[in-house]
Each structure stands twice: as structure tokens, then as C-alpha cells.
Chains A and B, each alone.
Chain A
């Protein structure tokens, strides 16, 4: 883990997922945020492991992958700058549901999940705004998964 960069606060404010959130809320989560860098091929998250952080992608590309016994590892979605990885840190039992691997040199802002949950509990108005951002991400990913299942190119 690297020490936080001085402009981390600015990066947090400018990340598309958080841009425009209440300054008090952003200030409250700043102290729980760290920057992390990964080389190509490095794992970021692992299915079944504790989901302790929310990850905001700043640079690079992350492949979300599913591993099933007796089947080749399958890449289902790549996420890039401006996007987020996962919401398992929010929902009990806080366990990652897929693997995530850096597909090129990648930099993320990692917000401690327990601290973030506490701030959201304390600030219901901001929590609502936060959910208005998170739910569309989940909805879009569901839509993507549906289209993938439909196998639209395979007809």
C-alpha cells in the first residue's frame, strides 16, 4: 500500500461516481480513502474473500472474472477509469462475488467499507444521493448481464 497522495482529496471529489456529492460527506470519507496501484495481472479482489473496501477506478482496466470448478475462468466485464468495482462492501455478509484482476497498470481509490457504511448511516440525505448513484450502476450491470445471457450475436 502506498501513502496517500496530497491531491487525493481532489481526486476523490472529481471521480465521476462522487462528483457533486455534499462537501461535508466527501470530507467525512477522505480519511478512510487510500490510493492503491496494481501491475498487469495483479489480483484486486477475490471471490469469497471479505469485501473491505469500495474501489473507485482512476486509471487502467480491471477484469471481473468468474471461476467455477471444472470450467475455464471466464471474464464477464471490464471496468475502467470513472467506474467502480463492486458493492459487496455495503451488503452483508460483505463477501466479494467475483475475482477482479488488473488487465493493465491500474490505480484505484480504496474507501474503507466499514467507515463508509458508518458515514452513510450518519448522513441519511447523503446516503440517499449515494444510492441514487449506486443503483444505476447495479441496474446497468444487470442489463449488461441480461444481454450477455441473451447471446445476441449467436443467433
Chain B
């Protein structure tokens, strides 16, 4: 079972240079939404890739274009396969979402500190998720469901822009049908054919069932959503240090060398992306960070 661990220095792949990506082949591709695709990658080389923990990310390289930080969204139990869900937001991510089965892309990592799942053992676990915050939390769900007895109540609130922007649609239906977790979906707006909740995801927090003195929350999504949700959890009695957020900043090296991902005193690629809300709360308010 994963605990939070930074990838040790030199755990990158690709031989001598920490910057050199290893070649990975696209073995499966699923179109999630109009602009988002999930790619399953396997190393071209026979050596197995290093393990990862939920919440860590890779630097993916689109040949001749460049690199982008992309979270690992597959199961940690599958040693060779690396799954990523990518939304086309610019040049690199657009090229990656267009990759076809058989294409080769580059991969470095895993990097960063993941979700502190061990801390949630024996407690209630809350996942509050906005938009593409679900991919970095899907490995958490896989781990939790593989070891369900280690956790008490598991509550998930997932918000997306519209029903068409929901990723992992079929999997969500299966999770929603389970009795051992509660998976609520909210969209920001919808047509009248949508009978689910409409509003913003933090609205679900007053209705979540948990013991604030013995709960851990993982938040991932747009910063404004994480801020509102963290505050709503604190309002319900949770301590700031039991609420974790995953921060995104532009990454270049991924291993603490270039300083691109600085956020207050933290280098997010090395000290994050997952950090306790108690550590980042005051930097949230600083606009220029």
C-alpha cells in the first residue's frame, strides 16, 4: 500500500541524464471527452519501470514538441502499465491527446510526493474533486477499494463543468452503485436531461458523512475549488493539517533543480504536489504566486 514518498534522486529513467525520457509505447487509448484522452503506456525497454504512489506524476514528452507534467491515473498494482488522462490545453498536451495506439512517447519519473494514504487508515476518507482532479485521485480509489477494510467511511464528491466533461463515465457508474462508498457527482451547469446535482462541488460538503475528528480529506482540482472546499471542511470541524491539496504549477525539471515550480517556500515537484492545507493556506491568498 502506498504512502507518501518523493521519488528518490536518480529514480528517473533513461540512463545517465536525469532529463532524458525513456521511450514508452501507447498500448491503449480512450477518448474521455471532446478534449481529453486516457493513454495507457508501456516501456519499450524490457526493464520494469520504477513503482509509484498515488498522486505522483510523470513528465511526458511529445516527440519534437516538448514535455508536460501529467499525473499517474492508473492502478499502482499494475507494474508495467502507466496510465495518464490528458486534456488538450496547449501544444504538448494537444499532441499527447492525439497519440494513437502504437505511437512512442517519452516518459520521466515518477516525481513528487503523493497522497498520504497511510494517514487515512482507520479513519474516514473524503475525496473532493474538481474536473481533471479525478485522474490523480483515481489511483487512491483503486488502492482504497483493494484494501477497503483499512478505511472507515469513504465519501467522494466530484464536480465537473457539464455532464459531457465527466471523465471515467462507466467507472463512475460502477463506483456509484457500490454500497461501501458514496460517490456524488455535481456539474456546474446542465441541460434538463441531467437529473443529477447542479451547482459547485463544495456544496456537497455539508452533506458528507464523516467524523471530523477522525477524517482525512484529499482535494484536487482548480485552486478556487480547493480553497472553498478546504474552508468548508474546516467549518465542519476538520483540522487544516488533515486536509491535503494537490497544487499545480508549471514544471520543467520535475526533480527540484530548476526552480520553475516554486510556490512560497516549496518546490512543488519535490515537496508537493500534495501538501497539507495548513502549509499552503496563506500562499493561496497571494495572487502573484
| CB of B203 closer than 8 Å to a CB of A | yes
Complex contact A154–B192 (CB within 8 A): no
Q: How far is the CB of A102 from chain B (nearest CB, A)?
A: 10
A50 on the B face (CB < 8 A): no
Binds A, one of B12-20, B66-74, B183-191, B238-246: B183-191
A77-117 interface (Cβ within 8 A of B): 77-78, 80, 101, 103-104
Residues of B close to A125: CB separation below 8 A: none
Q: Which of B160, B203, B224 contacts A150 (CB 8 A)?
A: B224
Shortest C-beta distance, B226 to chain A (Å), equals 10
Answer whether residue B2 sits at the interface, using C-beta atoms and an 8 A cutoff. Answer: no
The answer to whether B189 and A74 have CB atoms under 8 Å apart is: yes
Whether B188 contacts A153 by the Cβ 8 Å rule is yes
Q: Are the CB atoms of A78 and B161 closer together than 8 Å? A: no
Question: In the complex, what's the smallest C-beta–C-beta distance from B225 to chain A, in angstroms?
Answer: 6
- Which residues on B sit within 8 Å (CB–CB) of A40? 195
Q: Which chain A residues lie closer than 8 Å to B130 at the CB level? A: 152-153
Chain A CB within 8 A of B39 CB:
no
Q: A131 to chain B: which residues have CB within 8 Å?
A: none
Given A151-B161, A152-B222, are A104 and B189 also a contact pair (CB < 8 Å)? Answer: no
Output the residue of A63, A78, A103 with the most chain B CB within 10 A.
A78
- A144 neighbours in B (Cβ, 8 Å): 199-200, 203
How many A-B residue pairs lie within 8 Å, measured between CB atoms?
66
Q: How far is the CB of A88 from chain B (nearest CB, A)?
A: 19
Contact of B198 with A75 in the complex, beta carbons under 8 Å: yes
The smallest C-beta distance from A111 to any residue of chain B, in angstroms, reads 23
Assign chain A's interface to a size class: 20 to 34
Asked whether any CB of chain A lies closer than 8 Å to the CB of B194, the reply is: yes
Interface size on B, residues (CB 8 A): 27
List residues of chain B with CB within 8 A of the CB of A152.
130-131, 188, 222, 224-225
Is B197 an interface residue, CB under 8 A from the partner?
A: yes
A148 interface residue (CB < 8 Å to B): yes
Residues of A within 8 A of B222 (CB): 152-153, 155
Q: Is A24 an interface residue (CB 8 A)?
A: no
Residues of B within 8 A of A153 (CB): 130-132, 159-161, 165, 188, 221-222
- In the bound assembly, the distance between CA atoms of A102 and B184 in angstroms comes to 19
Chain A residue, CB-CB nearest to B194: A75
The complex places the Cα of A63 from the Cα of B190 at a distance, in Å, of: 10
Whether A73 sits at the interface, judged by CB under 8 Å, is yes
In this complex, which of A72, A147, A153, A155 has the most chain B Cβ atoms within 10 angstroms of its Cβ? Answer: A153
Residue of B nearest to A99 (CB): B192
A118 within 8 A of B: no
Q: Are A63 and B198 in contact (CB under 8 A)?
A: yes
Q: For residues 129 through 155 of chain A, which have their beta carbon under 8 Å from a beta carbon of chain B?
A: 144, 147-148, 150-155
Alpha-carbon separation in the docked complex, A61 to B196 (Å): 9
Contact call A77/B198, Cβ cutoff below 8 A:
yes
Whole-angstrom CA separation of A16 from B190 in the bound complex = 27
Pairs across A and B, CB under 8 Å, 25 listed = A72-B191, A74-B189, A74-B190, A75-B189, A75-B198, A76-B189, A76-B198, A77-B199, A78-B197, A78-B199, A80-B197, A101-B192, A103-B195, A104-B195, A147-B188, A147-B200, A147-B224, A147-B228, A148-B200, A151-B188, A152-B130, A152-B222, A153-B159, A153-B188, A155-B89
18 more CB-based (< 8 A) A-B contacts, given A152-B130, A153-B188: A61-B197, A63-B192, A63-B195, A63-B198, A65-B192, A74-B189, A75-B198, A76-B189, A101-B192, A103-B195, A144-B200, A144-B203, A147-B200, A153-B130, A153-B132, A153-B160, A153-B222, A155-B89
